[in-house]
Amino acid sequence: MDRSTTMGGNSPLSGNTNPSTYPPASAKLDGAAQTAHQTVDKVADKATSQLDRLSGTAHRAVNSAADMASSAADAASTAAEWASHLPDQAKDVQTKLTESACASIRARPLATVAGALVVGYLLGRLARI
């Protein structure tokens, strides 16, 4: 059966007996298919652009998080390095204070003993109150 004619040859409703004036069914199907393809292409293009935009946003977020983690790791490393030097610095300060006190005591032994007695007496009096 030819696709350009209707079943039975002519349309009984229109009274037209010439089947060539009807649009072929395949032309209608082709037009509908073409419209459907265009619609699907439009939807796919929009979805693709949205996915590209979301993908870019996700990549920027991941990169930002990685940068923040790297910065935090660098800060923690710097703080740990600084903290590891604190005991050495404390020992150096203690050594300097001890050497300074020893030098002061050697320079004026009687004044140091008199000063220690006065400070001890005052602290004793304050503790009684």
Flag whether 108 is in a domain: yes
H or E segment at 50?
helix 25-107
Q: What is the mean pLDDT of each run of 10 residues along the chain (129 residues)?
A: 47 51 70 83 84 83 84 87 88 92 92 93 91
Flag whether 16 is in a domain: no
Flag whether 12 is in a domain: no
Distance CA 7, CA 67 (A): 71
Domain, as residue range, for 61:
23-128
Q: What are the two backbone dihedrals, phi and then psi, of residue 6, each rounded to the nearest 5 degrees?
A: -85, 165
Q: What are the two backbone dihedrals, phi and then psi, of residue 9, each rounded to the nearest 5 degrees?
A: 95, -50
Flag whether 114 is in a domain: yes
Is the pTM higher than 0.85? The answer reads: no
Flag whether 15 is in a domain: no
Task: Decide: 5 and 19 in contact? Cβ < 8 Å.
Answer: yes
Task: Decide: 62 and 42 in contact? Cβ < 8 Å.
Answer: no
Number of structural domains, the chain?
A: 1
Tokens of residue 9, six digits: 């040859």
